Amino acid sequence: MSKLVTYDGGKVGRVDGDDVVRLDIASMREYFERGGADETGERVPLAGAKLVAPIVPKKLFHTAGNFREHEEESRNVNWSHQIAPWINFFQNVDAIVGPDHPIVYPEHLTEELDYELELAVVLRKAGKWFSPEEAEDYIGGYVIFNDITARDIQRGEMRSGVFSFCKAIDTFCPLGPWIVTPDELGDPHDLNMELRVNGEVRQESHSSRMSVTIPEILSNFSALGYSAGDVLSTGTVSGVAGFKSPEERARLYLKPGDVVEAEIERIGVLRNPVVSWQEAQGSPPPPRIRPWGDA
């Protein structure tokens, strides 16, 4: 089936060469819930289709700690808590945006906007309590996830050892550009991964550096119960701005005008510009808010 897209305001299709062939379903979630869809015969050029987030899942399982290189770099800044394996929390699906959609910089909330390149898995069908050996039967495809994070908010939240708000603000969940099916992708543990800001490489790694396998991750969290079309992230790689020196951080944190390109081999490039609150909302940002005090 290759690449599955959502485009032009909510149509669902598959990429066929230079075209998108429309499928007879109302949403990508429905595609997985039904176990597929028929073609309608309608075709449009891929270059002229406006791609949006390929799927808005019922649940987005955010897992972390699977790339131990990210834990190792956290020691550079004496991070407040260990990035242990098997971290899990749920992402705010209303924060999902698609390719070329702007990431809105909420200047009244944060001064430390960071990026996190991640490989994410789309669940083909509902399921729970399955083994790693059974996990591949539940994989519907793979997609790029850029886990945008407000580090100053995160440090404040983590005084209690938990966090969520820092990653769940509106537009902080770029997803795309499409879902690549397993038959098209091949081995998900053999993919080059790179994130660039304004063309400068910031994160560079390989999916083989996970300390656990994708089937093991899927199996472990199957105790929570998956729905068809749910998305599960697999954690970021080294190179985030927040774990650099103070001098480097000041330069590397995202700012309005930046363009972020998250790329994973055999999937593609997820591109998102960063815009100011003024540009996005047409009005100045609200007064500065520090809900967690000075982190």
Are 26 and 171 members of one domain?
no
- The Cβ of residue 221 has, within 10 Å, a number of other Cβ atoms equal to 17
Q: Which of 30-34, 195-199, 241-245 has the lowest mean pLDDT?
A: 241-245
Are 120 and 184 members of one domain?
yes
Write down the pLDDT at residue 220: 95
Write down the pLDDT at residue 140: 98
| Averaged pLDDT for residues 215-241 | 95
Are 76 and 199 members of one domain?
yes
In a domain, residue 265? The reply is yes
Residue 64's alpha-carbon distances to 174, 190, 276, in angstroms, are: 17, 19, 29
Cα 15 to the chain's mean position, in Å? 21
In a domain, residue 287? The reply is no
Domain at 246, CATH number: 3.90.850.10
Host domain of residue 263: 53-281
Residue 34, CA atoms < 13 Å, CB-side half-sphere: 12
Q: Per-residue confidence at 69, pLDDT binned at 50, 70, 90?
A: low
Residue 54: pLDDT over 70: yes
Q: What is the rounded distance in angstroms from the CA atom of residue 118 to the CA atom of residue 287?
A: 33
Last residue of a domain, one of 9, 34, 52: 52
In a domain, residue 288? The reply is no
Are 25 and 157 members of one domain?
no
Structure tokens at 6: 């959502």
Are 253 and 225 members of one domain?
yes
Last residue of a domain, one of 31, 52, 73: 52
Residue 67: pLDDT over 60: yes
| Averaged pLDDT for residues 189-208 | 97
Write down the pLDDT at residue 77: 66
Write down the pLDDT at residue 74: 63
Are 171 and 251 members of one domain?
yes
Are 32 and 169 members of one domain?
no
Are 102 and 140 members of one domain?
yes
Are 28 and 125 members of one domain?
no
DSSP 2-63: -EEEEETTTEEEEEETTEEEEES-S-HHHHHHHT---EEEEEEEGGG--EE-S---S-EEEE
User: How many domains does the chain fold into?
Assistant: 2
Are 103 and 170 members of one domain?
yes
Write down the pLDDT at residue 200: 98
Last residue of a domain, one of 36, 52, 68: 52
Are 76 and 218 members of one domain?
yes
Q: Which of 19-33, 135-149, 154-168, 184-198 has the lowest mean pLDDT?
A: 154-168
Are 20 and 68 members of one domain?
no
Domain at 40, CATH number: 2.30.30.370
In a domain, residue 257? The reply is yes
pLDDT digits (tens, 9 = 90+) for 75-96: 666 665 666 678 888 999 999 9
pLDDT digits (tens, 9 = 90+) for 232-278: 999 999 899 988 888 999 999 999 999 999 999 999 999 999 999 99
Residue 123: pLDDT over 90: yes
Write down the pLDDT at residue 27: 98
Q: % helix / strand / coil in the chain, to the nearest 5?
A: 25, 35, 40
pTM, full prediction: 0.94
Write down the pLDDT at residue 181: 98
In a domain, residue 93? The reply is yes
Write down the pLDDT at residue 246: 86
